[in-house]
Structure 1
Amino acid sequence: MPLSEREITEPVDLTGPTGLLNPEAVGWTRTPLHRTDSVTHGLIGRTRTKRWEYWAITTPTHAVGLVVSDISYASTHGIFVLDRRTGEQISHDAVGLPGAASLPGTLGEGVSRSRTRTVQLEFTHHDDGTHLSASGPRVRLEVTAHRPQHHASLGVVVPWSQRFYQYTVKDLARPATGTLWVDGVPHELPAGGSWATVDHGRGRWHRDVRWNWGAGSGTVAGRTVGVQVGGQWTAGTGSTENAVLVDGRLSKVSAELDWRYDRRDWLAPWQVRGAGVALTFTPEHLRRAVTDLGVISSRTHQCFGVWSGRVQLPHGETLTLTAENEVYGWAGDVHQRW
């Protein structure tokens, strides 16, 4: 069923001084307008505060994931690289004290940085884009995620309660340029075929959560397209993180979508349906990541592949994606205890 989601068009504080959710912050935006500096304030639920910056980069030959995060009692950082041609994947991960992660209070108002023995990451925002720098034992990266003029992004506040909530920004289809080095071998990112996506998160979470996230970027009939779909974690809140971006223009999909996939065969096609959305995700590679550190545990199945199907846009046009369009990205299933 369609939902009635409120579009926010003026700056607003995510929380009050005690760290509880500001009811006026609940809604969605086309550009980041939420101030989140107070998300760590107050004692109620403070240890459930989660903050992160996750960047994904896709090219015709590689997929890259970079994360800097602070989950209150620890910080986690990582570099992931998939070679699409061979299926080889490289993971450099580090867990440290919260002070090992430096994250701005509000999106775009500072540098995100981690400095550990094995992983070094730095994300620096500029007016026209974000510079991403990463270094690990086998991987180095220097990439700029450009921000075209009038480029929209999806911001959503998901309210489980006044105590538990999440603010997410999904910024898709950012043109990417630069270089990825793997074992010292440079791989230049081809212009026009390389894309960056950011998942910016600030909130307070329940300990046990499950979610789906799917995204893809590419060129369809000469137009830049980004696909963003989510599931499970937003159910029953009145908010969703579903949208399509065409040449920088955002179309919000205000409905919960039905995800269907086979947990016994992750590489079988995934189906995402509902409210004018009929998408198929065809995987080419499965990344399975399991972490069990006692207090922290997670089980992730993330598939990389191509999106096809159709989406009905608000002004009546039907956006059609085919496998040949190469709207490449991922779809995932995550169970997190943190």
Structure 2
Amino acid sequence: MPTPLIEREITAHVSLTTPTGMLNREALGWSRTPVHDTSGIPGRGHWGRNKRWEYWNVMTPSHIVAVTVSCVDYMALHELWVLDRATGDDIDTTVISPGGRSATLPSSLGAGPARARTRRITVDIDEAFDGTRLRASTPRVSIDLLAGRLEAHESLGVVVPWRLGDEIPHFQYTVKDVARPATGTVTVDGVAHEVPTGSWAVLDHGRGRWPYRVRWNWAAASGVVDGRVIGLQLGAKWTDGSGATENALLVDGRLSKISEELVWDYDSEHFMRPWHVHGTSADLVFTPFYDKHSHTNALVISSRTDQLFGVWTGWVRDENGTRVRVDGIEGFAEEVLNRW
């Protein structure tokens, strides 16, 4: 059943961690803009549980692009993936390197660049006055994209604790930034493809300390419905029972927090069948057209991901209680199981 929650909105800057490196209880809550100082991650005395990443997904009429720069203390993982939507052909370059020397990640969101440097992949993510510039290259693919940002644009920041008690050893701060208009070029095998108006970028920024085994759902979508820019952000499983959700609706840059654990109905044996995400705050159907399936087994780290790309229909209630239609916006929904 859907579970309603009471969540605290944070409006002032706050440190994610205490001076001893534990979760700062004053950081628990959600925000409309990035206000959390995450410089305490990784921190001493917690090696092996720290997880830091920047993930960007860009959907264009002709291509879908994913870029990752990440470090999990003992290992760094970087990826550039491009799908040709017309042919269904994809090119995936994933590099796993020991330690974190190949990754440069800012202490907090916007505090500096994110970079990956290996023999097979380079990534540069830089903040600019009009958005975030995404550049990456592999032997067959290169991208140069701008995820634009309007002045009034809001994003969802959430702190999720895994166990409430005197001390909280495992927790995550995430920023999910949807409906960022994208422009630029995607070059595949020497052929440049312009990214037109109507393309959208989504950010997943993460800093935290995780338990070894975690399962999660994440979904995001962006588009224009009835002349308004709509962004959808949903999550489940990893937040269940934490007192927090990462559910939100964005309309013309204004964020409405969905403080409810929604129900996710889908067939994990047949991911390409329609998904149903619902509750008192939303009734949504997701119809996939492509499954990006990946599996990693690198001794300590094991991961299985099914990221489905498709189309959303249905409605979500905004902060005023009004039903907002989301029919036709494109995005993704995923199920991930990690041992890391």
**TM-score range relative to shorter protein:** over 0.9
Deviant stretches of 4+, over 6 Å: none
Q: Of residues 114, 126, 133 in structure 2, which corresponds to 1:124?
A: 126
Aligned to 2:144: 142
Per-residue CA shift, 1:25-79, capped at 9, x if unaligned? 0000000000000121131x33200000000001111111000000010100001
Structure 1 distance, partners of 2:129, 2:200, is 18
8 A Cα contact 2:260 2:281, kept in partner:
no
**Secondary structure of the corresponding residue to residue 214 of structure 1:** strand
8 A Cα contact 2:132 2:148, kept in partner:
yes
Structure 2 distance, partners of 1:328, 1:194, is 10
1:77 aligns with 2:82: no
5 Å-filtered alignment, 1:193-208, equals: 193-208=198-213
Which one-letter code corresponds to 2:192 in the other structure?
A: P
Per-residue CA shift, 1:250-297, capped at 9, x if unaligned? 000001111111112111000101132101100000111001111010
Structure 1 distance, partners of 2:289, 2:65, is 15
Q: Of residues 172, 179, 188 in structure 2, which corresponds to 1:173?
A: 179
Q: Name whichever of 12-21 and 48-57 sits farther off.
A: 12-21
8 A Cα contact 2:230 2:326, kept in partner:
no
1:4 aligns with 2:10: no
Which one-letter code corresponds to 2:22 in the other structure?
A: L
Q: Of residues 7, 16, 21 in structure 1, which corresponds to 2:23?
A: 21
Q: Of residues 314, 320, 324 in structure 2, which corresponds to 1:315?
A: 320
Aligned to 1:160: 162
8 A Cα contact 2:220 2:232, kept in partner:
yes
Structure 2 distance, partners of 1:305, 1:32, is 28
8 A Cα contact 1:17 1:41, kept in partner:
no
1:329 aligns with 2:331: yes
Identity of aligned residues (%): 51
Structure 1 residue runs without a partner (length 5+)? none
How many pairs were matched up? Answer: 333
Structure 1 distance, partners of 2:299, 2:238, is 23
Q: Of residues 32, 35, 40 in structure 2, which corresponds to 1:33?
A: 35
Shift of 1:318: 1.1
Shift of 1:214: 0.5
Shift of 1:17: 2.2
5 Å-filtered alignment, 1:292-311, equals: 292-311=297-316
8 A Cα contact 2:69 2:123, kept in partner:
yes
Q: Name whichever of 119-128 and 237-246 sits farther off.
A: 119-128
8 A Cα contact 2:72 2:100, kept in partner:
yes
Structure 2 distance, partners of 1:252, 1:297, is 33
Shift of 1:169: 0.0
Structure 1 distance, partners of 2:189, 2:249, is 36
Which one-letter code corresponds to 2:184 in the other structure?
A: G
Structure 2 distance, partners of 1:149, 1:9, is 17
8 A Cα contact 1:253 1:275, kept in partner:
no
Shift of 1:186: 0.9
Structure 2 residue runs without a partner (length 5+)? none
Which one-letter code corresponds to 1:149 in the other structure?
A: E
Aligned to 2:110: 108
Structure 1 distance, partners of 2:279, 2:121, is 40
Per-residue CA shift, 1:81-103, capped at 9, x if unaligned? 11111111110010113111000
Aligned to 1:278: 283
Aligned to 1:86: 87
Give the alignment's TM-score, normalised by structure 1. 0.97
8 A Cα contact 2:55 2:68, kept in partner:
yes
**Secondary structure of the corresponding residue to residue 221 of structure 2:** strand
8 A Cα contact 1:165 1:203, kept in partner:
yes
Give the alignment's TM-score, normalised by structure 2. 0.96
8 A Cα contact 2:158 2:246, kept in partner:
yes
Aligned to 2:54: 53
